[in-house]
Amino acid sequence: MFNKNFIFLLSILFLLLIQVHVNAVTHNYVPRNIDIERSPKNILVGSLFGGRSHVKPMLDVTTILAERGHNVILLTTGKYEPSSEYPGLKQITLGPKLDPKNHDINIHSDVDFRAMAQLMGITLNTYNETYEKFKNAAKEYNIDLFFCDFMGNHACIDIAHNLKKPVVGFTSFIQFVDPKPYKSDPFFGCNAISLENESFFERFKCSLIRPLEKAYVYWSPGRQLNNIRNQMNIKAASENLSKLSLALIDTFFGFELPQTLPPNVQEIGPVLSEEYPPLTPELSDFINSHKRVIYVAFGTRFFTTTENNNKILQSLVEVINKKLVDGVIWALSETSKDDFYPTLNLTDGTQLQTLPVLNNKHPHIHITKFAPQFAVLNHTNTKLFFSHGGAGSVHESLYTGTPMLVLPLGGDQRGNAQRLKTAGVALSLNKYSLDVNDIVNKIDSLLKDEHVKKNSERMKFLARINSKRKYRAADLVEYILYSDSLLDENVDDTFLKEWVPAESRMGFIKANNLDIYITLIGFILTFIGGITFKLILQSSSVKIKSKKA
């Protein structure tokens, strides 16, 4: 009995000694201080094209900065309608929303680098006014940093450069910022997003012919822009990496083809909001009463032909009749009821009037002008997204794990469609050869393919992991603001020089050591030539001697 009590007391004492030791050790540790001293800064968000696809992800990043005490001012064309998502946001308009329908741009053709050059020429007509609005806003709000949408936004980058303020570029199209010779995009007139498995002819075309064609197409508007800059005594600041403090790319690995990136280019996508507008009561009733729903939306800028609209509507009716799905929600943003033919000729020989369907008289088709897209995609009854393949739509679809049928209409959408197909979560259509049976068959395949379902789950996991990187984007912007506040006004040329790759300053030949290789080849050829010449002389001498003999 004594031994048991003694052992018990020793055990208690031993445990007490361990606890005291642990407490002592713990108390000796110094906690890591993660607090950052912040002073409010003024950030100007600038986008020439405006619209949800260009502005929203930028505001999702600056919302974090606003929560940290910084002031955010938005400068864009038109009126950013979903401003209720960002309460307290100050907005200055650059003028009416840029609408291709108001210009001589054929939206029904391929909206590629040629169309963008044409649109650039149109926007130059208002460059003076746009630059002055940026300049006035910068003075009125004492702007500390410019956050510029990369697409055609020359005035935003120019004013930052001339006021010697840091500038952060933003885009979802990595090829605009850091092109690689082994990657391309249909936007640049190539067939594929990767040249890895392409033929020599295709690589020759994409690596040599298309860049020359692009340089030729952009030469005239580029010269016009520089003439305007010279007239206004503005220092030219191209969208070269050396002119950007930081470039943020709204994309992520798994969707974007991998490539090496310099320190001042960061992939921070998919940028998504923390909260989204809920379903309207009408939409909620419809989607809850239909268990297999297709959501159709082609963005707020693109539209297709009347013939294609009818083919799409007929396809949706056909998949309902075949019981592949039991419901369709179609958000007609840029399309009106006048953009449809009056009658559909179905494959079973019957006819259907389109107007009653567009007026929501069909029990299984709900037509709306605008839908809270994320809420629709996030609903368990939504099984497929029929989309144009814009970056914002792609990110929301991947995040919710919704497979896609993509009808690319222009811009980066054909490249996005290829990336989605490579990831195994989508199939695509051709707007020039749209066929009802092809649409029906691809919808059937996407809904039944188990590989598509598994890949969608995999990509959902990746998208959700990477969606946290917008906080890193905000951190990097703050670092730039902090670094800029520590520098003297006269040393802006060296600002964040350690971020910018040396190749942007060295030039193509020196950065790739071509001068060294050319010199080496020259030495080798000279050496070989010398030996060859000597052998020729020796051979000639032998022949002469043999003749004399």
Is residue 122 exposed (0-12), middle (13-18) or buried (19+ Cβ within 10 Å)?
middle
Helix (H, G, I), strand (E, B) or coil at 234: coil
CATH architecture of 42-267+473-495: 3-Layer(aba) Sandwich (3.40)
Q: What are the residue ranges in the chain where pLDDT is below 50?
A: 1-2, 103-106, 239, 490-491
Closest Cα partner for 250 from 273, 278, 279? Answer: 273
Task: For residue 295, list its beta bridge partners.
Answer: 329, 385
Cis ω on the peptide bond leading into residue 270 (within 30° of 0)? Answer: yes
pLDDT score for 490:
45
pLDDT score for 91:
87
Q: What is the pTM of this model?
A: 0.85
- Tell me the backbone φ, ψ of residue 365, rounded to 5 degrees: -125, 125
Domain boundaries, the chain: 42-267+473-495, 281-448
Helices (H) and strands (E) counted in the chain, each on its own, are 20, 15
For the CA atoms of 98, 104, 108, 113, the dihedral, rounded to the nearest 10 degrees, stands at: -70
List the structure tokens of 40: 């409010």
List C-alpha distances in Å: 26 to 33, 35, 190.
16, 21, 62
Per DSSP, 187 falls in state: G
Task: For residue 46, list its beta bridge partners.
Answer: 75, 148
List the structure tokens of 236: 């030219």
Alpha helices in 166-209 (DSSP H): 174-177, 200-204
Helix (H, G, I), strand (E, B) or coil at 72: strand
List C-alpha distances in Å: 40 to 64, 159, 332.
13, 22, 42
Cross-sheet strand order for the sheet of 265-267: 90-93, 71-76, 42-47, 145-149, 167-171, 246-249, 265-267
Residue with tokens 């933003």: 170
* 381-395: pLDDT as tens digits: 999 999 999 999 999
- Tell me the backbone φ, ψ of residue 539, rounded to 5 degrees: -65, -40
* Angle 453-456-459 from CA coordinates, rounded to 5°: 155
Distance separating alpha carbons of residues 87 and 82, to the nearest angstrom: 10
Query: Strand locations in 279-350, DSSP E?
Result: 293-297, 327-331, 343-345
* 177-201: pLDDT as tens digits: 888 889 999 988 898 999 998 999 9
Closest Cα partner for 401 from 348, 464, 355? Answer: 464
- Calculate the CA 286 to chain-centre distance: 32
Task: For residue 148, list its beta bridge partners.
Answer: 46, 169
What length does the chain have? Answer: 549
DSSP 73-138: EEEESS--GGGGGSTT-EEEE-SSPP-GGGTT--TTS--SHHHHHHHHHHHGGGHHHHHHHHHHHH
List the structure tokens of 450: 């188990």
Alpha helices in 295-363 (DSSP H): 306-321, 354-358
List the structure tokens of 55: 């502005």
Please give the CATH superfamily to which domain 281-448 belongs. Answer: Glycogen Phosphorylase B; (3.40.50.2000)
Closest Cα partner for 98 from 149, 138, 61? Answer: 149
pLDDT score for 311:
94
